[in-house]
Amino acid sequence: MLRHHFLILFFCLIAPFAQAGTFTGDAPPRILTPDEAFRLQVEAVNTQTLIARFTVAPGYYLYRERIDFKLQETNASGIARVELPPGEIKQDPNFGEMLVFHENFDAQISLQHTGDAPNEITLLASYQGCSEQGLCYAPIKKTLSIALPGATGGSETDRIVKLLRGGNLWLIVAGFFAFGLGLALTPCMYPMYPILSGIIVGQNHHRPTRLHAFNLSLAYVFGMAVSYALAGIAAALVFGQLVSSSLQNNPWMLGFSALIFVLLALSMFGFYELRLPAALQNRLVNTSSRIKGGHFVGAFAMGALSALIMSPCVAAPLAGALLYIGQSRDVVLGGAALFTLAIGMGAPLLILGASAGAILPKSGPWMKLARNFFGVVMLGMAVWLVAPVAKNLLTTSTTSAHQSVLPFQPVQNLAALKSALQQAQGKFVMLDFYADWCVECKRFEQTTFRDPRVQKLLENAVLLQADVTKNNDDDIVLQKRFGLYGPPGIIFFDPQGREIKAANVVGYQTADEFIITLNRVYGSREGECAPVSAC
Amino acid sequence: MRAGFRLLISALALGAAIFIVYRQLAPNPAVAALYAVTLPDQNGQPQALAQWRDKIVLVNFWATWCPPCREEMPELSEFQEKYRARNVIVLGIATDDVAKISEYSKTRPVQYPLLAGDFQAMTLAETLGNNKGALPYSVLIDPKKGITHIYFGRINIKQLEQDVREIAE
């Protein structure tokens, strides 16, 4: 009897669940939860930079354009920039080519703070991905509290870190060091050996210790390096802001700077000497000889002065270096590059110091050879500068419109731009400033615009191009309107025809960089979108 | 003692029986929640979901940005045509707003109602068993028994047809 009751009870209880059993049977073998499929860890590198590490499970992927970071509104800080790797192209039958991440990747988030950086920020991250099994996840939202390290890294440090990350700064600095070593082999350095020897032996007239001698020559070389670094910084500031843009963008200026390089090369070949006026140089030599030897400060000052004395001799390669730095418009780079250049130049002096004045290198035909080598380098620079202009003069007649890899519509003036923008309502618009003589524009055309990812991203945008080769009044007005001094410059407009200032491109960008810019352009619309899944 | 035990068993059995009857009447609180909702369709017209409670319903959660969702929709549309006569209806509840789904339905029309679930959509999907925030997500509802099958991700139409025939017969 009891057993009978139990049976009834048993059936009653399992009946409702009998159907539920089929639930699990229908689900595909194993579906990861969103947090198993995609993991996000964010850490602060310094007060300005966060690294967001995404872990993507095999067979799953995240959409590049659907990754978004915001700071909680209560923070007096904002996100200046988010840099993502370019991603891989995924062919999607519905959306065409999409940029996705199948593998783990890092995003770099640059922060900006009003006032001091806070100790902690609250980051709102959202991302969305799918599984190759034919399943997507609704946008995932994460709120993360991130402690920022003590406010040590200013934006300058941050910039250096970034350059170092790119490997650029080290490469350039190493190049300048090698350049300096090369310069040390020229006869220019020769007058410095007796000067330094004099300092080392100094007033004491008895041989100093090896360490003391080395320290003295170190101080001397540092003095030299500091004055070069100052020259580098000055070059970056002055050239950068005044000369570089016109230098870059005008065929006459390009020709002129190429001519300077040729003149410098000729001086390297020994056709003539570049030097300061003799009176000025003598005065400098006299002043420097009045500084007492034997002291580090004296040696340092002596080094700084020697750099000035010597600079006419190395003027040619130095001017080349300064021109280069001027174009880069980078103060940190300018200072660092010329500093290491001087250290490179001073390396033999350090050896001299270490030997306590015992050895002096002999001059010989190899010094002449080194100078000739630098002359050839200078000529190479000249050719490199004028090559694009010359090519255009030779191959295309000045009137024929140039053919771009992208289907640009030409825009002649502001009025034409306005009507083009009106016609393009509802679409993103890209306005590219181009000129036949613009080297960087050519680079854009030959690399960035040829990149299939870039072409794909621009497929649905209206592409306008202002050819400012002639630089006539219309061209100048058009460029002024967008605050450009000259091409290359790219301006974007949203589907309502409003300029997207944050995405302005001035100067060359690689395809990877340009894709990031394009994502910022298209992302400007997403910004208005509701936070949850509705985009 | 023995009588008391018997009473307890009977009470439990009665409770279970009431539970089952309740389930038959109001098949599932989740399903009840679904039929309590009114959502705008692709033309912006509000539609009370309760109007379909007597049909075999396949609720398909989707989004305009979701590639596998878009992939399966033409198949679901075909499925709708094939089984319309057998009291089957597909309801496409999007996580998007009216503007998005109306734009979508112009270029890629389907033979079943599309509804703009917007922010509600994922909550509703979760109530209906979507514990993974996955899309597409579909639920098959028997008007008498409530939810009989759930499908995570891209649906297998053959499997779906088989499941529907089971209910319809």
The predicted-structure confidence for A434-487, as pLDDT tens digits, reads as follows: 887 677 788 888 888 988 888 888 888 899 999 887 777 788 888 878 877 677
Range of the domain at A242: 167-393
Say yes or no: A285 and A303 in one domain: yes
Range of the domain at B36: 28-168
Distance between CA atoms of residues B89 and B68, nearest Å: 21
Given this model, what pLDDT does residue B22 score? 52
Say yes or no: A193 and A106 in one domain: no
Q: A13 lies in a domain? A: no
Say yes or no: A240 and A220 in one domain: yes
Say yes or no: A153 and A171 in one domain: no
What residues does A112 pair with on adjacent strands?
A78
Shortest distance between the Cα of A457 and any Cα of chain B, in A, equals: 17
Chain A, residues 281-340, CB within 8 A of chain B, namely none
Report chain B residues whose CB lies below 8 A from the CB of A534. 95-97, 100, 118-119
The whole-number average pLDDT for the span A322-326 is 63
Which pairs from A268-273 meet CB under 8 Å and 24+ separation?
A: A268/A316, A268/A317, A268/A371, A268/A372, A268/A374, A268/A375, A268/A378, A269/A371, A269/A372, A269/A375, A270/A368, A270/A371, A273/A312, A273/A313
- Whether A19 sits inside 8 A of B148 (CB atoms) is yes
What residues does A144 pair with on adjacent strands?
A123
Say yes or no: A375 and A476 in one domain: no
- Whether B63 sits inside 8 A of A138 (CB atoms) is yes
User: What total of structural domains would you count in chain A?
Assistant: 3
Average pLDDT, chain A: 72
Distance between CA atoms of residues A221 and A313, nearest Å: 17
Say yes or no: A358 and A416 in one domain: no
How do residues A133-167 score in pLDDT, each as one tens digit? 888 888 888 888 888 875 443 344 444 444 444 55
Q: B6 lies in a domain? A: no
How do residues A99-127 score in pLDDT, each as one tens digit? 899 999 999 998 888 877 788 888 999 99
Question: Does A248 score more than 50 pLDDT?
Answer: no
pTM of the model: 0.41
User: What total of structural domains would you count in chain B?
Assistant: 1
Q: B5 lies in a domain? A: no
Decide if A532 touches B, using CB distance below 8 A: yes
Shortest distance between the Cα of A124 and any Cα of chain B, in A, equals: 18
Q: B96 lies in a domain? A: yes
Distance between CA atoms of residues B101 and A305, nearest Å: 75
Taking a C-beta distance cutoff of 8 angstroms, is the pair A488, A505 a contact? yes
Regions of chain B where pLDDT drops below 70: 1-4, 7, 14-28
Phi/psi at A55 (nearest 5 deg)? -110, 125
Task: Say whether the ipTM exceeds 0.90.
Answer: no
Q: A69 lies in a domain? A: yes
Report chain B residues whose CB lies below 8 A from the CB of A532. 119, 122
Select from B148, B152, B159, B167 the residue whose CB has the most chain A CBs within 10 Å, as the one to mutate to test that interface: B152
Q: B19 lies in a domain? A: no
Report chain A residues whose CB lies below 8 A from the CB of B65. 66, 128, 535
Distance between CA atoms of residues A378 and A266, nearest Å: 9
Q: B23 lies in a domain? A: no
- Whether B152 sits inside 8 A of A27 (CB atoms) is yes
- Whether B133 sits inside 8 A of A94 (CB atoms) is no
Q: The domain that contains B48 carries what CATH number?
A: 3.40.30.10
Nearest chain B residue (CA) to A97: B67
* DSSP code of residue A361: P
Give the pLDDT band (50/70/90) at residue A532.
Answer: very low
Say yes or no: A188 and A143 in one domain: no
- So which residues of B are the catalytic ones? 66, 69
Phi/psi at A83 (nearest 5 deg)? -110, 125
Q: A21 lies in a domain? A: no
Decide if A99 touches B, using CB distance below 8 A: no
Nearest to B154 among A95, A134, A137 (CB): A134
Say yes or no: A230 and A379 in one domain: yes
Given this model, what pLDDT does residue A282 score? 63
Q: B126 lies in a domain? A: yes
